C-alpha cells in the first residue's frame, strides 16, 4: 500500500483499537481469492494475532499452503470537497483509514480451541447472548463447528495509512474536520483532529 511517512500510524495501541473496531476485513490469498470475514484481533505478548473462521464450503481455506495472506481492514472514509479548503487552488480527494496485515494462516483443528475461539467472538460481539451460547447442546455445537474452518494468523508485517490531509497543514485539517462533522462523518472528523499536524 502506498503510504507516505506522514500518513503512517506507529502507535500500536491506536492500531489495535482500530483493528478491533473495524473487525470485518477482507482476507486475500494466492490466485486472488477473497472473503469478507469477522476477525478477532489480539496481542499475545508482542505478537499481533488475527483469529478468523470461514465456512468449510468456502474453498479459499484450501489455499492456506504456508504462504502469506493479506488481510485488509478499512475504517472511516469520506470524500473531501475542494470547497472546504481555505486555499481555493485545490482538487477533490478521498480521506480514509486502512491497515494491511500479512501473515501465514494456521488452521485450528482441535475442537476445544475452535469452541473457545467462537465463544470469544460471541463474547466480544454479543455478550448478552453468551449465556445462551454456553447453553447450546454439545451435539449441536460440534455439528456447527464441523461446518467451519477456524484459523489464526500471527502477523508478520503491517502497512498503515491514515490519509487525513496531513500534507495540507493544521488549518486546512481543522476546516476539513469541521465540514466532516457537519456531513455526519464524526469518526473521521475526530481522527483528523487527533492527528493534526504541529
pLDDT above 90 for 93: yes
Q: Which three cell numbers stand for residue 61?
A: 481455506
Q: CA–CA separation, 133 vs 142, rounded Å?
A: 13
Phi, psi of 159 (to 5 degrees): -120, 135
Tell me how crowded residue 151 is: count the other CB atoms within 10 A of its CB: 23
Q: What is the pLDDT of residue 88?
A: 83
pLDDT tens per residue across span 39-54:
999 998 899 999 999 9
- Per the DSSP assignment, residues forming a β-bridge with 48 are 43
Phi, psi of 185 (to 5 degrees): -100, 60
Domain boundaries, the chain: 5-76+94-164
Q: CA–CA separation, 60 vs 39, rounded Å?
A: 16
The CATH number of domain 5-76+94-164 is 1.10.10.60: no
pLDDT tens per residue across span 7-61:
999 999 999 999 999 999 999 999 899 999 999 999 988 999 999 999 999 999 9
pLDDT band of 139, cuts 50, 70, 90: very high
Name the DSSP class of 98.
E
Mean pLDDT of the chain: 95
The HSE-up count of residue 148 (CA atoms within 13 Å, CB side) is 19
Q: CA–CA separation, 95 vs 161, rounded Å?
A: 10
Q: Are 73 and 99 a contacting pair, CB within 8 Å?
A: yes
Q: CA–CA separation, 175 vs 132, rounded Å?
A: 48
Quickly list H helices, 43-136.
111-125, 130-135
Amino acid at each position: 500500500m502506498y503510504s507516505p511517512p506522514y500518513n503512517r500510524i506507529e502507535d500500536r495501541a491506536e492500531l489495535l483499537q482500530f483493528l478491533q473496531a473495524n473487525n470485518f476485513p477482507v482476507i486475500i490469498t494466492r490466485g486472488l481469492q477473497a472473503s469478507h470475514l469477522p476477525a478477532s484481533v489480539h496481542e499475545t505478548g508482542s505478537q499481533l494475532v488475527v483469529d478468523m473462521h470461514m465456512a468449510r464450503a468456502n474453498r479459499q481455506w484450501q489455499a492456506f499452503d504456508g504462504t502469506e495472506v493479506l488481510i485488509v481492514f478499512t475504517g472511516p472514509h469520506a470524500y473531501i470537497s475542494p470547497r472546504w479548503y481555505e486555499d481555493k487552488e485545490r482538487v477533490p480527494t478521498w480521506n480514509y483509514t486502512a491497515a494491511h496485515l500479512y501473515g501465514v494462516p494456521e488452521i485450528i483443528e482441535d475442537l476445544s480451541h475452535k469452541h473457545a475461539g467462537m465463544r470469544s467472538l460471541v463474547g466480544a460481539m454479543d455478550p448478552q447472548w453468551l449465556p445462551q451460547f454456553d447453553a447450546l447442546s454439545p451435539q449441536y455445537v460440534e455439528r456447527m463447528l464441523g461446518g467451519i474452518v477456524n484459523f489464526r494468523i500471527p502477523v508478520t508485517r503491517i502497512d498503515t495509512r491514515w490519509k487525513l490531509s496531513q500534507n495540507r497543514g493544521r488549518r486546512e485539517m481543522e476546516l476539513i474536520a469541521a465540514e466532516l462533522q457537519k456531513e455526519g462523518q464524526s469518526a473521521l472528523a475526530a481522527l483528523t483532529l487527533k492527528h493534526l499536524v504541529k
